[in-house]
C-alpha cells in the first residue's frame, strides 16, 4: 500500500496525509479500549478486576470529525494563498532531542573546551523535516502573519532592534502566534570587526530588549551575515545564548541559494530568509513563502519548529 497524498495534487482525492492520519488516530483511540466488544459492551477481565468499558463511539466520531475539519481548513488555506499542494504536517517533536554539535570547519579555537555555543547549519534527524528561519525585521507585512497562521507553518525569527523598534507590536503578534523570537544583535554590525566588549553590548543588549518587550530571554543567536569569531561566541555564552544556528539554504521571493555543492535540501536543514518586500526583492514575503512551501512539499518535506529539536 503506497503512502497516499504526498505526491497527489492539492485538489485531488481526499486521501491525503491528513486523511491517513485521521484513520490512524481513530484506530489508536479504539486500541485504548481493550474490553470493547460489539455494541460497546463490557468485557469481564480475569482476576475479579473492574470491567473495562469502551469509550462511546461518539467520542471517536467527534475526534475524527475534528481532524477532518482541521485538514479541510488546511486545504482551504492552501488554495486561498495560492499553493500548489497542501503543506505536509511535521512529525511530533522528538522525545529525545538530538545532540547538537558545531559543524566541521565552523569551530573556533577552544570551542568545545570553553563550552561555547555550537554553530550548525543542519539539525541531526532522519525525518524529512526542514526549519524556516527569518532574519532582521525590516518588512512588517500583516498579510504574511495571516498567511503563516492560516497555513499553520512554524518558523523562528532572529531580530535586530534597530528594525524591530519601528513596530514592536508587529512582533508581539508573531510571538502570540507561537513564533520564537531570538537574537540577531541590536544594530546588525559585522561582529568580527568589534572588540569583545562591543560584541557583548550588541548581543546582551538585544537579549534585554527581547526579554523586556516579549517576556522571554532568547537562547538562540544568529550573528549578522553569519560572521563570527571566538570573541563573538564568548560574548554570546556570557549573555545566556546556548545555540548559534546558521543555515544550509536560503530562499528569496524569486530563487533559492544553497551552501552545499548538490544544491538540494536535506533532512534537518535550516533555511534562511529575511523580512523583505518589493523594495528589495522581486516579490513579497508571501511570494517567498509560496516558493518555499511549493518546493519543500513537492520534495516530501514538512516544516518543523526549530526550538522543538533543541
Whether residue 124 sits in one domain with residue 71: no
Whether residue 153 sits in one domain with residue 216: yes
Residue 96 lies in a domain: no
Q: How far apart are CA 203 and CA 182, in angstroms?
A: 11
Whether residue 135 sits in one domain with residue 26: no
Q: By the 8 A CB rule, do 119 and 127 touch?
A: no
Residue 241 lies in a domain: yes
Whether residue 287 sits in one domain with residue 142: yes
Whether residue 281 sits in one domain with residue 207: yes
Whether residue 279 sits in one domain with residue 149: yes
Residue 31 lies in a domain: yes
Residue 95 lies in a domain: no
Q: Count helices and strands (H / E) in the chain.
A: 8, 9
Q: What is the pLDDT of residue 49?
A: 52
Whether residue 168 sits in one domain with residue 44: no
- pLDDT-derived band at 67, boundaries 50, 70, 90: confident
The string of pLDDT tens digits covering residues 3-35 is 434 334 444 333 344 444 444 443 444 444 434
Q: What is the pTM of this model?
A: 0.81
Whether residue 269 sits in one domain with residue 123: yes
- pLDDT-derived band at 51, boundaries 50, 70, 90: low
Q: By the 8 A CB rule, do 245 and 220 touch?
A: yes
The string of pLDDT tens digits covering residues 156-211 is 999 999 999 999 999 999 999 999 999 999 999 999 999 999 999 999 999 999 99
Q: What percent of the chain has pLDDT over 70?
A: 82
Whether residue 160 sits in one domain with residue 25: no
Tally of structural domains, the chain: 2
Residue 132 lies in a domain: yes
Beta strands in the chain (DSSP E): 119-120, 129-136, 156-159, 180-183, 244-245, 249-251, 256-258, 270-274, 302-304
Residue 164 lies in a domain: yes
Q: Which three cell numbers mark 82?
A: 495560492
The string of pLDDT tens digits covering residues 285-294 is 999 999 999 9
Whether residue 297 sits in one domain with residue 182: yes
Structural domain ending residue among the three candidates 30, 65, 80: 80
Structural domain ending residue among the three candidates 49, 64, 80: 80
Structural domain ending residue among the three candidates 80, 106, 135: 80
Whether residue 173 sits in one domain with residue 291: yes
Residue 94 lies in a domain: no
Range of the domain at 204: 119-309
Q: CATH number of the domain that 301 lies in?
A: 3.20.20.370
Among 90, 142, 81, 137, which residue's Cα sits nearest to residue 289? Answer: 81
- pLDDT-derived band at 50, boundaries 50, 70, 90: low
206 φ, ψ (degrees, to nearest 5):
-70, -30
Residue 41 lies in a domain: yes
Name the 3-class secondary structure at 156: strand
Whether residue 166 sits in one domain with residue 34: no
Number of other CB atoms surrounding residue 211 within 10 Å? 13
Amino acid at each position: 500500500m503506497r503512502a497516499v497524498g504526498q505526491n497527489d495534487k492539492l485538489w485531488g482525492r481526499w486521501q491525503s496525509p491528513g486523511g491517513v492520519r485521521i484513520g490512524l488516530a481513530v484506530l489508536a483511540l479504539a486500541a485504548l479500549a481493550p474490553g470493547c466488544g460489539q455494541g460497546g459492551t463490557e468485557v469481564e477481565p480475569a482476576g475479579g478486576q473492574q470491567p473495562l468499558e469502551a469509550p462511546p463511539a461518539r467520542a471517536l466520531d467527534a475526534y475524527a470529525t475534528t481532524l477532518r475539519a482541521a485538514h479541510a481548513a488546511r486545504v482551504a488555506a492552501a488554495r486561498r494563498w495560492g499553493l500548489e499542494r497542501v503543506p505536509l504536517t511535521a512529525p511530533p517533536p522528538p522525545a529525545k532531542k538530538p545532540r547538537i554539535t558545531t559543524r566541521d570547519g565552523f569551530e573556533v579555537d577552544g570551542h568545545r573546551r570553553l563550552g561555547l555555543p555550537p554553530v550548525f547549519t543542519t539539525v541531526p534527524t532522519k525525518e524529512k523535516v526542514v526549519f524556516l528561519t527569518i532574519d532582521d525585521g525590516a518588512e512588517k507585512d500583516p498579510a504574511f502573519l495571516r498567511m503563516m497562521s492560516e497555513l499553520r507553518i512554524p518558523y523562528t525569527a532572529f531580530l535586530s532592534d534597530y528594525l524591530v523598534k519601528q513596530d514592536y507590536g508587529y512582533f508581539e503578534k508573531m510571538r502570540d502566534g507561537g513564533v520564537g523570537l531570538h537574537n540577531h544583535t541590536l544594530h546588525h554590525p559585522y561582529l568580527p570587526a568589534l572588540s569583545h566588549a562591543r560584541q557583548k553590548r550588541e548581543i546582551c543588549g538585544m537579549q534585554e530588549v527581547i526579554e523586556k518587550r516579549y517576556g522571554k530571554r532568547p537562547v538562540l543567536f544568529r550573528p549578522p551575515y553569519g560572521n563570527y569569531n571566538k570573541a563573538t561566541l564568548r560574548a554570546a555564552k556570557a549573555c545566556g545564548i546556548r545555540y548559534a544556528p546558521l543555515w544550509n539554504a536560503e530562499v528569496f521571493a524569486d530563487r533559492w541559494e544553497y551552501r552545499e555543492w548538490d544544491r538540494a535540501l536535506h533532512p534537518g536543514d535550516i533555511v534562511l530568509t529575511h523580512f523583505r518586500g518589493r523594495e528589495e526583492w522581486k516579490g513579497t514575503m508571501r511570494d517567498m513563502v509560496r516558493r518555499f512551501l511549493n518546493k519543500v512539499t513537492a520534495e516530501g518535506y514538512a516544516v518543523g519548529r526549530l526550538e522543538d529539536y533543541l
